[in-house]
Amino acid sequence: MAHNTDIATRAFVVTLKSPCSGKTTAQVSDITGLPKNTINYIYARAIARGFDPNQRPMVIKNCYVEDAPRNGRPTKRTQEMKKAAIAKVLHNPYGRKKTCAEIASELASEEMVISPTSVSRILKAAGFRKAKVTN
């Protein structure tokens, strides 16, 4: 889908495109500002997920229009790891002078396997900007 649409817009498209509204794809496109291909894609996906355009009263469930699950590797960084990495910096007077490799090594001794790059990302996300990945 070319446009990143929110769930409410997708539900609106399905409602407008259904036979009870009598709107054509071109009219729905004029109303929503979305391309015709996107409108047809949203509507076809809703039908494939169980939407019945002839059902009365019309029922549009979230599962008809919500985002599909994404592929990709799940993150290894748990909340526990994030808290531990931040604690290594905050609760140690020399924590701000440690490299990310040193913090990762300390976490590994506590049986939390994490890379220096992941430590760097955690610290940057927490607002620390001078985190070094290595010595």
The confidence band for 2, taking pLDDT boundaries of 50, 70 and 90, is very low
pTM of the entire predicted model: 0.54
Residue 70: its pLDDT value, please? 78
83 and 59, same structural domain? no
Residue 87 domain-assigned (yes or no): yes
Residue 85 domain-assigned (yes or no): yes
Residue 135: its pLDDT value, please? 47
Question: For residue 10, which of 50, 65, 63, 48 has the smallest C-alpha distance?
Answer: 65
Buried b / exposed e along 24-59 (16+ C-beta atoms within 10 A): ebeebbeebebeeebbebbbebbeeeebeeeeeeee
Q: The domain containing residue 104 runs over which residues?
A: 79-125
What is the tens place of the pLDDT at every residue in 71-85? 888 777 788 999 998
Residue 70 domain-assigned (yes or no): no
3-state secondary structure of 85: helix
Residue 112: its pLDDT value, please? 87
Please, are residues 122 and 82 in contact by the beta-carbon 8 Å criterion?
A: yes
47 and 13, same structural domain? yes
Q: What is the mean pLDDT of the chain?
A: 86
Specify burial of residue 100 (Cβ count, 10 A radius: 0-12, 13-18, 19+): buried
Residue 103 domain-assigned (yes or no): yes
Distance CA 57, CA 113 (A): 54
What is the tens place of the pLDDT at every residue in 23-72? 999 999 999 999 999 999 999 999 999 999 988 898 899 999 998 887 88
Domain count, the chain: 2
